[in-house]
Amino acid sequence: MRRIRLSWNVRSGAQAVIALYVLVAIFGPMLFPYDANVTSTIDRLQPPGSVLDDGSTSWLGTDQVGRSIIAQVISGSRISMMIAAATVGIAGVLGLVLGLVSGYFGRWGDSLIMRLGDIQLAFPSILLAILIAGVLGPSVTNVIITLAITRWVIFARVVRASALVATKSEAVEGAKTLGVTSFWIIVRYILPRVLGPLAVAATVQVGLMVIAEASLSFLGLGVPLDQASWGSIIANGRDYLSSAWWIAAFPGLALVILVVATGMATDGKRAANQTM
């Protein structure tokens, strides 16, 4: 019981952190009405807590061209979380469909889908993402497409494994005997069994997608320069680590906290399920 309570507390705390990020991404511009792209050479490289030329306080400092770091971090959170959610949604749906087809029908369809997945997994996902992003060019849409292409196989393999187990159950065998169509067998008996593992995989991938998007933006292959991203902010501050550490530190800290919270939420759920 103590382990269950601890796992529940860890998961609840991590979920609260994630919820806070979502609220900041949605309502942050209302609380901190700063434009992430407005520059001010007079206020360049101001440390956290400095009073700017217009009389406002820069809570997280400014960068080398006078842009507000807190405005960039908030704007970057919206971009990163939107890309992560859209990528997981698209890759999850694609992986769900292909995984169900592969696990339930099997035969040549299973072999084709899984061999394509094995070929893709043979390449490091970040290198494949860099290749695709380099071809498509920097944009939010292209980043989503790139990351979805590199991640569908993860969801497909998870769904396929659960679908194979469900297909061999007595309920499915009985439904086949009664002449129930494959569509309704999948919807009624197999789909409910794969949604749990799929949700766990999706939670894990959200954190990984945030890291992947930041990595692409850090390399200049992610979102355009006129849109703030945690990766691009960190890239802008790498040359000022000794003199203006806050430029890279705060977006990096925001990135780490979100990824760790996502991982703890997933691990807490796994621990609770295993204990019960």
**229-269 residue pLDDT tens:** 899 899 888 888 888 899 999 999 999 999 888 888 776 55
CB 274 within 8 A of CB 11: no
Residue with tokens 């700017």: 52
> Per the structure block, which two tokens stand in for 60?
């997280």
More confident position, 90 or 34: 90
pLDDT at 196 over 80: yes
Give the pLDDT score at 156.
Answer: 92
Give the pLDDT score at 268.
Answer: 53
The mean pLDDT of 126-151, rounded to a whole number, is 87
Say what the pTM is.
Answer: 0.83
Give the pLDDT score at 40.
Answer: 81
Give the pLDDT score at 2.
Answer: 47
**200-222 residue pLDDT tens:** 888 888 888 989 989 888 888 88
DSSP codes joined into one string, 166-188:
HHTSHHHHHHHHTT--HHHHIII
Residue 140 CB coordination number (10 Å): 17
Per DSSP, what are the bridge partners of residue 50?
58
CB 78 within 8 A of CB 61: no
> Per the structure block, which two tokens stand in for 69?
């770091």
Percent of the chain with pLDDT over 70: 92
**Confidence class for position 90, pLDDT limits 50, 70, 90:** very high
Catalogue all structural domains in the chain, each as residue range(s) with its CATH number: 2-275 (1.10.3720.10)
pLDDT at 31 over 80: no
Helix spans in the chain (H): 2-31, 69-100, 107-121, 125-136, 140-167, 170-177, 182-185, 191-218, 230-237, 246-275
CB 133 within 8 A of CB 221: yes
